[in-house]
Structure 1
Amino acid sequence: MTLPTVRARPPGEPRHVAYLYLLPAFAVYAAFLLYPIGRAVQISLYDWDGLSLGRWVGLDNYAAIVADEGLRAAFGHALVLIVFYALGPLVIGLGLAAILNHAKVRGLGFFRTVVFLPQVVAMVVVAVAWRRVYAPDGTLNTLLGALGLDSLTRGWLGDYTFALPAVGVVGTWFETGLVTVLLLAGMSRIPGELYEAARLDGAGAVREFFTVTLPSVRGEIAVALTLTVIAALRTFDLVYITTRGGPGDSTSVPSYEVYHRAFGLSQVGSAAAIGVTLTAVIFAISFAINRFADRRDA
């Protein structure tokens, strides 16, 4: 079977003719992404319960996000989850990938499959499993009791202090495999001559990591951070299954607030404003990560 070739624009063909070939793809992109975003922006400017006629309120729904302490806290919780979803897996993944790549472990392909396995499991399944781990009579408390640390046992998901970190640890476990596999792929492409040159200069393992390995996988780090930051900011199913934003509002995040306000409180306009704001935050952070990576590569 022969693969289709990409049609190059002939030298004499007008540029606008070449653009015609992009129209089908752009039409799909506009129908399934641009139009829904535009519609969400429109709805966010109304006080609407989803059934009756909406009332124009302008930017009041956006002002409420800043004024509402609960909504500010929800965005703050999402930023806290970035530490668990992105920074934690990045540090752990860098260490694991560097060790595995340096040691040339046998059966590396099998290890990659195992460490990547959480990514192929539905988050709902992951959430149900970890909810059992964190239960008062669950695996974690049983293990602490067996070690004589009964004073540390608690209902983790019902504790105002530990509920959000407990949810974040699940994110760390879930994302570490993805980050490790991405970084391993990047490190496997580093020429061996660079390591040999570093050793001839007297570099040890730590200096070799910071002078050769780390700069060489900057692109993979940017990709990993982009994916994990987006996952942290838009997390919904994990929070919904494990805590439903509780106890109180201690684990509420913007995505959950969109669902809660739209389907629980019938505040569709407010929910749309939260969703649009979250989209803008995700875009801004992703753009900053990639611009920083591009500038360092220049």
Structure 2
Amino acid sequence: MHSFRTDGEAIVLSPRRRRHSGVTTQKVGLVYIAPPLALFVFGILVPLGYGAYISLWRWDGITQATFVGFDNYLDAVTDPLVLQAFAHSFFLVAFYSAIPICLGLVLTGVIARYPLRFTGTWRVLLFLPQVLSIVVVGVAWQWLLAADGPVNQLLRLVGLGGLTRVWLGDFVWALPAQGAIGAWLMSGLCMVLFLSAAQNIDHELYDAAAVDGAGPVREFFAVTVPSLRRVIVVAAVLTFTVSLNNFGLIWVTTRGGPGGATQVVATLVYERAFVVTQLGSASALALLLGLIVMAISLGITRISRED
């Protein structure tokens, strides 16, 4: 095989030279991918495999382990505490995922059709909860929702003192209060994602819809939502994953209380691993949670592609 220089003269490359060049390129490529590959193997695959191995044993981390096979998984799917924790986790999906996405879409549809001034400033303010430490967020909301906190003081000020309560300590309202915090926390992320994508929507589409007689609601469902479909899928996967893996906020504010009213799967895994030292049960529960999150995330992506 020949190759040509700019002056038209042909240069013949021997097969050995070509093979040597290909091998060198492969070695260079392996050098580049080796660090992230090693990080993936030793940081994700090895711990995942070790966790799967531990889940087959009854072990407290100190004494002799006892092989139990899949009993830990069977206990996880039949234990009322586990089922209640999963129910709480899926209840929070509505606050962490559905409400922020719907709210973000509505505000994005308004801003995309009727641009506001100081859009950059609005983005910074909306995204601010994402850059705050989860500990800071939890402590701040503990203060806001305390018995003598600003929320209850505001209710008393407007004559609704009968509604005041210790929101995070109430058996009925503790979980919805956690959901309200999550909705505030994730709404900024969804809004920023949607606002960034809305900049690429051609305004001629809105003009064409207006010519066809479409009102604001019809424009929203016919132009804005279809144009943001891919970003909606990304936001759905991100918020859904956060809602099911929610640990830090709940642990800082209520630690799963009162009486397990805010206990979710992530906090239950932590308690079984580090409080009651049931490492096998905790590993099985964590793997089940990971599989559920992966399956639902892949399902959301698959459905969006088919649509």
Distance in 1 (alpha carbons) for counterparts of 2:113 and 2:205: 13
Structure 2 partner of 1:191: 202
The alignment of Structure 1 onto Structure 2 pairs a total of residues equal to 286
SS at match of 1:26: helix
The counterpart of 1:285, out of the listed 259, 272, 296, is 296
Task: Note the 1:212-231 alignment, pairs <5 A.
Answer: 212-231=223-242
Q: Is 1:170 matched with 2:187?
A: no
User: 2:275 is aligned with what amino acid?
Assistant: G
Distance in 2 (alpha carbons) for counterparts of 1:226 and 1:236: 17
**1:201-260 Cα deviation digits (max 9, x unpaired):** 111111111111100100010011111111100111111111111111111011101111
Q: TM-score, normalised by structure 2?
A: 0.89
SS at match of 2:37: helix
Structure 2 partner of 1:116: 127
**Alpha-carbon offset, residue 47 of structure 1:** 0.4
SS at match of 2:237: helix
Structure 2 partner of 1:267: 278
User: 2:134 is aligned with what amino acid?
Assistant: M
**Alpha-carbon offset, residue 26 of structure 1:** 2.2
SS at match of 1:30: helix
Distance in 2 (alpha carbons) for counterparts of 1:42 and 1:228: 30
**1:77-129 Cα deviation digits (max 9, x unpaired):** 10011000000101111111111222110100010001110000011110001
Structure 2 partner of 1:4: none
**1:112-149 Cα deviation digits (max 9, x unpaired):** 00111000001111000101111111111111111111
Distance in 2 (alpha carbons) for counterparts of 1:187 and 1:120: 22
The counterpart of 2:106, out of the listed 95, 102, 117, is 95
RMSD: 1.7
Distance in 1 (alpha carbons) for counterparts of 2:167 and 2:258: 10
The counterpart of 1:76, out of the listed 46, 66, 87, is 87
Runs of 4+, deviation exceeding 3 Å: 10-14, 16-24
Q: State the identity %.
A: 43
User: 1:117 is aligned with what amino acid?
Assistant: L
**1:162-190 Cα deviation digits (max 9, x unpaired):** 10000010000000000001011111101
Distance in 1 (alpha carbons) for counterparts of 2:202 and 2:113: 13
Structure 2 partner of 1:29: 40
Structure 2 partner of 1:38: 49
Contact 2:96 2:240 in 1 (8 A): yes
Contact 2:113 2:206 in 1 (8 A): no
Q: Is 1:244 matched with 2:259?
A: no
**Alpha-carbon offset, residue 25 of structure 1:** 2.8
SS at match of 1:265: coil
Structure 2 partner of 1:61: 72
Structure 1 partner of 2:8: none
Please identify the structure whose Cα radius of gyration is greater.
2
**Alpha-carbon offset, residue 285 of structure 1:** 1.2
